[in-house]
A and B are shown apart, each in its own frame.
Chain A
C-alpha cells in the first residue's frame, strides 16, 4: 500500500540527531506513567509509528480527495465560510488520528513532538493536498499562545487545538500593510480593563477559524513596530466581527482567504503590550515560514512523482519519453533538488529544535545566553533561506512537471496543472522571496555560517575526497565574494545581489549537508555526483554575476532603475 512516509524521507530523517533535543523534551526520560517515554529508542519508535500513520492517511485518505477540494474549494455565503466537504473530512480524520497539536505539550493533549518530526508530517500532508496544510498547519498558532500566553489562555485554548475542535488563523495583513507590517493600523482599544479590535484585515488564510491571533495598534497615534500588540480573538465567543468576503484564487482553493471586519470585537492581549510585531509575530512567522517550506517541498515531491510516472507511461517515437535525455535531465534535476532541499529543511527544523531546547534550558536557569543567541541567529538565518530556496524550487519543479506532461499538463485532467497553481503562492505568502532575502542577508554578510564552513573544511571524508576539495574551494570563494560585497559598503548593491547570495548560500549549504551523507552511504553517490555537477557550475555562474555587477555598476547600481521609475 502506498505510504508517503517513504524510504527517502525516513533515510533523510535518520541523518538528523535528535537525541539531546528529545531527551530535553521528555524530561530526560524520567517521567512515569503510561504515556511517559523512557528512552530515545522508544521515542523514535513512537515517532516512526506516527509518521507511518500520517503517511498512510496522506497517501490513501487525503490525496484521493484533492481534485474535489480543488474543484469546489472553500465557499462563502451569508457571511459564513464553508470548507469544501472533503477538506472537513480530511481535518476530521487528522484530528481523530491524533495528529493535531504536534509540538504542543501532552498536558494540553498535544504530542510534544520535536519541530523536525512535525515538519515531516506537514510535508506529507502538503504532498497530498497543499491547501490542507493551511488548515492543518495553522494549528501552529497554538505554539505562539503556548510560548507567550497566560496559563489561563493556554488551558482554555490549547486543548481545543489538540483535539481538532477549533482551527486558527494569523490575522496580520491589511490592505495597506502587506510585506510592511509596521504599517498595521487596525485599532486595539482598551476600555475598562478589556480590549476590543476595530478595523479590517485582508488576505487572512482561514480567517474564519475559531481562534485568531490579531496584530493591532494598541498605542494611539503611534507609528511603526513599537505601537503594535498581539491579541487573541475567539470568533466562536464574539459576534462583533464579520467575514466580508473570501478571495477567488489561482491555487490552494481548499484554503479560504478571508477579509475580516472587526467592529469593536472583544479580544485579549497576548503577552506584553508593544511586543506584538517585534517579538511575537517574528516567532509566529518563523514557525509559519518553516511550514511553508515544508508545504513547498511536499508540492515539489508530488510534482516529481507525477512527472516520473507520466514520463514512464507516455510513449512517443516508439518509446517511453523517460528515455529521452531532454526529459530525464529535467527529472534528474528535480530529484536532486527535492532530495537536497529535504536535507536543508530537516536541518533547519533541527536548528529550530536546538534553539527551543536552549531557550527551555535558559528558562530553567542555565547560564547559556551566548549559545541561545547563536542558535536563535542560526534558525533566524536558515528559516528564510529554506523558505526562499524551497518555494522557488517547488515552482520550478511544478513548471518542469507540466513541461514533461506536454499538452496534457496544461489540461485540468492531470494533477500537475493543480500543482503548478498551488506552488505559486509558496514564494509569495509568509513573506515574499524578496523579503526572505532581506531577512537572510544580514546573517550571510556577518558570516554566521563561518563555523559550518570550518566544519566543512575539517570534515573527514573517506571516498568523496575530490568532491570535498572542490566544495571547500567553493566555500573559500563564497566567503571571499561575501567579503567583497561587504567591503563595497553599499546597501543598494548588497540588496541588489541579495538573491544571488542567498541562492549561493543555499547551494553551498546543501553541498555541505549532502557530502558527508553521500560519503557514508554508497546508495547516495550517484545523486550526489549529479548534484555536484549541477551546483559546481551554478556556484560559478552566481559568483560571476555578482562580480560582473560589481565591476560594471558597483555603487552606482541604482542607475538601473533610472528609466523604470515613472513617478
Chain B
C-alpha cells in the first residue's frame, strides 16, 4: 500500500478581505481574518484521497503552524485522511520558505518510506509556490509542479498533466515523487458525517484531561504534535534564524487592466486586427 503525505497550511482567508486585513506596517493582520485550509492544499488532499480510493494508500497530512492549525488537520480527517500530525514550536516562528521546507522535509524523512508527497501549488497568503519544490529537493524526490490533473493511477506510476503555460505537458512518472497541485486538478470533496463523528473531539494531547486521554488515544482522537526536538532539528535552520528572506519594502499596488485596443467592424479594421494578432503571436513564440 502506498504511503502518501500531504503538506497542508492554515492561511488567513484572503477571499474575505476587509478594511482591517492589513496592519499599518503592511503585514497581514491575522486576527482580523478567519483562518482556513489553504485552497490548493484541499486539491492536494483530494488527489491523495482519489489515489487512496483507486489503489489503496495511507494518507498522512502534516502541517507546520500554531496550535490553532489543528482545525485544518481535523478537516483533513473529516475528508478521509488516515493520520495527521501537527508540527509546532515557537522556534519555528517567522520561518520563510527555506526554513519551512527544512522542517517539513525532516518531518517527511522521520515518517519514512514515503511514496508520494503532495502539496498545493501555492498558499494564498505568501503566494510563493516555493515550499513544495524546496521540500522535494531536500528529500531527494523528483518533482512535478502545477499539476492540472491525474490521468492514470497505477501501482507503479502515475500519468499526470501539468500546466506548462503555453502547452499542457503529459508526464508518466514512477514513484516516489512530489507533486504540487493546482485548483484545476479536481474538486475537493466535502467532509463526511461519520468521519466528523469520529474526529470532532480530536485534539492535541495537552487539550485532554488526564482521565480522558487514554480513551481518546484508543479512539485515534489524539493528534500527535512534533516539536523541534522531536525532529532533532538544527535550530539555526529553523524559524526567523533560518530565514534569509528579508522584506525590504511593502507598497500598496492598485491593479489596472492591460492595454485595450478597440477595432471597428469594417474590413480595414478587421485586417488590422488580424495583422496585430499575428504580430503578437510571433512575438510570444520568438
Contacts and interface: CB of A to CB of B under 8 A. Distances in A.
Nearest to A99: B193
A97 B200 CA distance: 15
A57 interface: yes
B52 to A, nearest CB: 13
B191 A53 contact: yes
Contacts of B198: 34-35
Nearest to A121: B193
A153 interface: no
B221 A97 contact: no
Contacts of A33: 219
Contact of A46 (B189, B190, B196, B220): B196
Given A34-B221, A53-B190, A42 B201 contact: yes
Nearest to A98: B193
A96 B190 contact: yes
Interface in A6-53: 33-35, 37, 42, 45-46, 49-50, 53
B194 to A, nearest CB: 5
Contacts of B204: none
Interface in B194-236: 194-198, 200-201, 219-221
Interface in B234-258: none
Given A46-B196, A46-B197, A49-B196, A97 B219 contact: no
B20 interface: no
Contacts of B201: 42
Contacts of A425: none
Contacts of B195: 98
Please tell me the size bucket of the interface on B: 10 to 19
Contacts of B191: 49, 53, 97
A93 interface: yes
Contacts of A416: none
A97 B192 contact: yes
Nearest to B221: A34
A264 interface: no
Contacts of A106: 194
A111 interface: yes
Contacts of B189: 93, 96-97
A391 to B, nearest CB: 29
B200 A45 contact: yes
Nearest to A34: B219
B220 A98 contact: no
Given A33-B219, A34-B198, A50 B193 contact: yes
Contacts of A34: 198, 219-221
Contact of B192 (A46, A56, A98): A98
A53 B193 contact: yes
Contacts of B221: 34
A259 B2 CA distance: 48
Contacts of A50: 193, 196
A228 to B, nearest CB: 36
Nearest to B190: A97
B219 A46 contact: no
Given A33-B219, A34-B219, A34-B220, A96 B200 contact: no
Contacts of B194: 35, 98, 106, 109, 111
Q: Mostly helix, strand, loop or mixed at chain A's interface? A: helix
A121 to B, nearest CB: 10
Contacts of B190: 53, 56-57, 61, 93, 96-97
A476 B228 CA distance: 74
Nearest to A93: B190
Interface in B162-191: 189-191
Given A42-B201, A96-B190, A97-B191, A53 B196 contact: yes
B228 to A, nearest CB: 31
A454 B193 CA distance: 41
A49 B75 CA distance: 11
Nearest to B201: A42
B219 A111 contact: no
A155 B197 CA distance: 22
Interface in A40-80: 42, 45-46, 49-50, 53, 56-57, 61
A175 B192 CA distance: 42
Contacts of A97: 189-193
Interface string A96-140: 111100000010010100000000000000000000000000000
Interface in B111-165: none
A109 B197 CA distance: 12
Contacts of A61: 190
Instruction: From B193, B195, B219, name the one whose CB has the most chain A CB atoms within 10 angstroms.
Output: B193
Nearest to A57: B190
B200 A49 contact: yes
Instruction: From B190, B191, B219, B221, name the one whose CB has the most chain A CB atoms within 10 angstroms.
Output: B190
Contacts of A56: 190
A111 B200 CA distance: 15
A37 B194 CA distance: 12
A160 to B, nearest CB: 16
A539 B219 CA distance: 57
Nearest to B193: A98
Contacts of B200: 42, 45-46, 49
A264 B114 CA distance: 57
Nearest to B202: A34
B143 to A, nearest CB: 30
Contacts of A57: 190
Interface in B11-31: none
Contacts of A37: 197
Interface string B29-58: 000000000000000000000000000000
A82 to B, nearest CB: 22
Nearest to A50: B193
A555 B160 CA distance: 80
A64 to B, nearest CB: 12
A106 B197 CA distance: 11
A534 B83 CA distance: 57
Nearest to B13: A1
B193 A35 contact: no
A98 B193 CA distance: 5
Contacts of A99: 193
A111 B220 contact: no
A117 to B, nearest CB: 11
A49 B190 CA distance: 12
Contacts of B197: 35, 37, 46, 111
B13 to A, nearest CB: 9
A33 B200 CA distance: 14
A97 B191 CA distance: 6
A395 to B, nearest CB: 32
Nearest to A38: B201
A551 B271 CA distance: 87
Contacts of A45: 200
A93 B191 CA distance: 10
Nearest to B80: A96
A35 B219 CA distance: 9
Given A42-B201, A106-B194, 12 more contacts: A35-B198, A49-B191, A49-B196, A49-B200, A53-B190, A61-B190, A93-B189, A93-B190, A96-B190, A98-B192, A98-B193, A111-B197
Interface of B: 189-198, 200-201, 219-221
Interface of A: 33-35, 37, 42, 45-46, 49-50, 53, 56-57, 61, 93, 96-99, 106, 109, 111
5 contacts: A33-B219, A57-B190, A93-B190, A98-B193, A98-B194
Instruction: Give 4 nearest A-B pairs by CB, closest first.
Output: A98-B193, A34-B219, A98-B192, A97-B190
